[in-house]
Amino acid sequence: MKYDVFISSKSEDYGLAEKVYDFLIESGLDVFLASRELDRLGESEYSLAIDDAIDNTTHMIVVATSVENINSKWVKYEWNTFSNDLKSGYRTGNLITILSHDIELRKLPASLRHQQSFWLDTYKQHILSYLKDDNSLLTAKLKEAQKEIKRLEGIIKIKDDEIMEAQDDKKRLMSIITSKNDEIKKLKKSLQDATTKIKELTEVKKTIKSPTGQISSTANLLDVLGINPKKSKEVIVLIKKNSVSAMNDLSYVLTNNSLSLSNAQISSGVWRMKVKDRAAAQKLITELRQYHIRAEVELNQ
């Protein structure tokens, strides 16, 4: 397997080395670290695996908190092998150290002293520029952009779903509002009809009052409305004799209802006019009152 970076570190520094490993992996690099790759191998297999990883890596990073750890058996073997390959021209790449502030750079081995070094607390700021060529950087940025595009597409899909749900809610509400408006229109029409009926009944009530000012009976109301089949016979309308000036109005109303004073009986200043039924009587009385002529149904019928 090919690696971008081989991390060399003594076991005491594995905690720090693994943080560097995680950072580089997240940055899109392929990284080798023995504690992650070879922790269950024997020494002979370990040595072969280390050599193979060094041969197939582009860069090496040495992570250490002391010069003693840098010079430990396996760590020194790893960076010394890589350094010798660089010197012989066998390979290209960078040999980098990431160190704690306890280490003095002048005390590093000569092969590392003149290589690029970073402190453990600041290496993230610049190290990637030593590990990635322009193509690698562009590839890493492209991967990051693609991840961001996928993330944004996910957000857009969620928002689209929310918009569709909101539009469905709007349609439901508009349907409810339309239904309620129709109900309101029907109620208004019913109210108007009821108001009109009340006015009509109020007028009818005025025509069937007894001398004491009270409605004489329910039967009288039914009679005047023409809905009492038992009393559909002729009805006598009493017309109060008025001044001579009102006679022309009286004659006009009687003629309009196909009646004539010649057919009326007069007694004590009152004309008794016979009409065909209650409905005709109501019509006659209403018209007479428009001309301020007093008239009412004879109560003893």
What CATH number corresponds to the domain at position 120? Answer: 3.40.50.10140
The answer as to whether 108 is a domain residue is yes
Q: What is the CATH number of the domain that holds 251?
A: 3.30.70
- Return the pLDDT at 212: 47
Among residues 178, 207, 236, which one ends one of the domains?
207
- Return the pLDDT at 173: 87
Are 128 and 138 in a shared domain?
Answer: no
- Return the pLDDT at 17: 97
Are 11 and 124 in a shared domain?
Answer: yes
Range of the domain at 240: 218-297
The answer as to whether 147 is a domain residue is yes
The answer as to whether 236 is a domain residue is yes
The answer as to whether 213 is a domain residue is no
The answer as to whether 212 is a domain residue is no
The answer as to whether 41 is a domain residue is yes
Q: Any idea what DSSP says for residue 209? A: B
- Return the pLDDT at 222: 54
- Return the pLDDT at 213: 47
Among residues 173, 207, 241, which one ends one of the domains?
207
Q: Any idea what DSSP says for residue 224? A: H
Specify whether the CB–CB gap between 237 and 298 falls below 8 A. Answer: yes
Are 143 and 260 in a shared domain?
Answer: no
Please identify every stretch of the chain with a pLDDT value under 50, giving residue numbers as ranges. Answer: 210-213, 215, 229
Cα 175 to Cα 114, 167, 189, 235, distances in angstroms: 79, 12, 21, 56
- Neighbour-count burial of 136, counting CB atoms closer than 10 A to its CB (0-12 exposed, 13-18 middle, 19+ buried): middle
**Considering its fold, how many domains does the chain have in total?**
3
